[in-house]
């Protein structure tokens, strides 16, 4: 092993260990701390306030652990964590991806933690406590679901593809997204809307979805899931020639990816 590669492997192993620990602690806190009657009160503003409080508390739990282990790293979190850092490593955190699912008591919510260095994602962890699943990936080392290797399904024809997607919170965006889905659904096997982008990307990695696309994600929604999907054999991106971004995120195995990307571009899935 070269002297140059050894520190990098040590670094990624350390980052993975910390991400797994932080996700596990946050998952236990969110699972065990969720009031049993939260779903019943889901229409009340007080219930939404509880979810916001849990979201903020989970992010603080994660960022406190990260700061204790690696105080020089940067932080970017959904609930406002923003630290520049001086080490070149930045953590990208979503303490609850799928907050509406969490609010209603649906199991598809997850903690998403990614570590990137100099803009390149090195480690991704997506922990879904209610599904008993932890997805993880280290750049160049493959993807895993719990302790089993994760692999995308072989590319299907577009007409046989089970495609995941999601919808934004803004009414105008949802209307256009519904129009895109309306035109796409006769051309694919079916469409699924799970409510957590991180889990959808991981379900592509695990072969449970053939493909996934969505407009309007934030970096903390997809940072970990993007790496996990790619390490499981998927291609990811946005419009043709562009990387996955808030404008458009697509993940699918080679062969299907290109066909879906071209069709979504024709349908205008990249704009509101």
Both tokens of residue 86?
Answer: 């001086």
Helix (H, G, I), strand (E, B) or coil at 48: helix
**Domain range spanning residue 16?**
5-141
> Has residue 199 got a pLDDT over 70?
yes
Does residue 162 share a domain with residue 137? no
Distance CA 194, CA 114 (A): 21
Q: Binding site, residues?
A: 78, 94, 96-97, 221
Does residue 47 share a domain with residue 134? yes
The per-residue pLDDT for range 18-28, each reduced to its tens digit, is: 999 999 999 99
Q: Binding site for Mg(2+), residues?
A: 78, 94, 96-97, 221
Q: Which of 112, 141, 170 is the last residue of a domain?
A: 141
Q: In the predicted model, what is the mean pLDDT of residues 72-97? A: 93
Q: Cα separations (Å) of 139 from 20, 63, 178?
A: 15, 22, 34
Q: Cα separations (Å) of 145 from 64, 118, 130, 148, 250?
A: 26, 27, 14, 5, 21
Q: What is the CATH number of the domain that holds 213?
A: 3.40.190.80
The per-residue pLDDT for range 109-125, each reduced to its tens digit, is: 999 999 999 889 999 99
| Confidence at residue 36, expressed as pLDDT on a 0 to 100 scale | 83
What value does the mean pLDDT of the chain take? 94
Distance CA 200, CA 164 (A): 7
Distance CA 121, CA 235 (A): 15
The tally of CA atoms less than 13 A away on the side-chain side of residue 239 is: 9
Predicted structure pTM score: 0.95
Does residue 192 share a domain with residue 114? no
171 neighbors 165 (Cβ within 8 angstroms): no
Q: Which of 141, 170, 196 is the last residue of a domain?
A: 141
37 pLDDT tier (thresholds 50, 70, 90): confident
Residue 93: closest CA among 126, 118, 70: 126
Does residue 172 share a domain with residue 211? yes
The per-residue pLDDT for range 248-268, each reduced to its tens digit, is: 999 999 999 999 999 999 999
185 neighbors 213 (Cβ within 8 angstroms): no
Number of domains in the chain: 2
Distance CA 99, CA 48 (A): 9
Does residue 74 share a domain with residue 15? yes
Q: Which of 141, 175, 209 is the last residue of a domain?
A: 141
81 pLDDT tier (thresholds 50, 70, 90): confident
Q: Is residue 18 part of a domain?
A: yes
Does residue 101 share a domain with residue 165? no
């Amino acid at each position: 092993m070269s002297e140059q590669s050894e520190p990098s492997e040590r670094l990624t192993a350390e980052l993975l260990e910390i991400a797994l620990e932080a996700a596990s602690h946050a998952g236990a806190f969110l699972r065990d701390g969720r009031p049993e009657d939260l779903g019943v009160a889901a229409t009340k503003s007080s219930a939404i306030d509880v979810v916001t409080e849990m979201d903020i508390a989970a992010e603080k739990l994660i960022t406190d652990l990260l700061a204790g282990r690696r105080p020089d790293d940067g932080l970017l979190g959904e609930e406002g964590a923003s630290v520049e850092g001086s080490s070149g490593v930045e953590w990208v955190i979503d303490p609850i991806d799928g907050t509406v699912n969490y609010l209603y008591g649906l199991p598809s919510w997850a903690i998403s933690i990614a570590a990137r260095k100099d803009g390149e994602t090195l480690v991704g962890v997506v922990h879904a406590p209610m599904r008993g699943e932890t997805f993880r990936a280290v750049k160049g080392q493959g993807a895993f679901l719990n302790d089993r290797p994760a692999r995308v399904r072989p590319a299907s024809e577009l007409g046989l593809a089970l495609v995941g997607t999601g919808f934004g919170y803004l009414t105008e965006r949802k209307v256009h997204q519904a129009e895109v889905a309306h035109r796409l659904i006769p051309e694919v096997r079916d469409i699924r809307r799970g409510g957590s982008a991180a889990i959808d990307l991981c379900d592509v990695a695990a072969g449970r979805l053939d493909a996934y696309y969505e407009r309007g994600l934030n970096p903390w929604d997809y940072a970990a899931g993007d790496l996990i999907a790619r390490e499981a054999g998927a291609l990811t991106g946005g419009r043709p020639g562009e990387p996955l971004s808030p404008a458009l995120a697509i993940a699918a195995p080679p062969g299907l990816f290109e066909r879906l990307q071209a069709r979504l571009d024709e349908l205008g899935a990249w704009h509101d």
